Amino acid sequence: MNLSLRLPFRLDNLRSAWLALSFMAMVGVIIGAVGWATGVIGSPSPPAEFDVYVNMGSRAGTEAMARELNQQHPAGTDLVPLLNRLQRAGFDCRADYRQTSSYACLYNRMMSDRRVARIDMTIMTDGLRVRSITPVLVVSTR
């Protein structure tokens, strides 16, 4: 009597399935370990450049941001590095059609604690030079 016809599976098939599942588990562990070691898995995203001011609150954050930006980009300096910095940080800067020689920059960010940060910034220029920087920070709950 042939027993192999009565069994729904062969021992060779069971051994092959066990080896395949073991191999897939090992590959998953290796991928997870490499991802964790390189920081892809489990690491929080770095804070945005302007989160420091958002955490200060609307009034104190606005004052500190204005002070720092006016120190780093005082009147008479080139406009392009300031615009590049703001755009890298997530601002949408456009020439303001209401006033000649000014830029309006807007920044919106959803924070982790259900707050929304909005920064409206007006940059007055005389062509390619900065005249003044005026930010307004508003932090609201959603």
Q: Any idea where the domains of the chain sit in the sequence?
A: 3-38, 51-141
Q: What is the pLDDT of residue 81?
A: 93
Query: Which class for 84: exposed (0-12), middle (13-18), buried (19 or more C-beta within 10 A)?
Result: exposed
Task: Tell me if residue 73 falls in helix, strand or coil.
Answer: coil
CA distances from 7 to 1, 4, 118 (A): 12, 6, 69
Q: What is the pLDDT of residue 78?
A: 93
Paired tokens of 131: 């005249």
14-71 pLDDT, tens digit each: 788 888 889 899 988 888 887 777 766 555 566 678 888 888 888 999 999 999 999 9
Write down the CATH number for the domain with range 51-141.
Answer: 3.10.450
Distance between CA atoms of 83 and 96, rounded to whole angstroms?
A: 14
73-122 pLDDT, tens digit each: 999 999 999 999 999 988 999 987 777 789 999 999 887 777 888 999 99
Model pTM?
A: 0.64
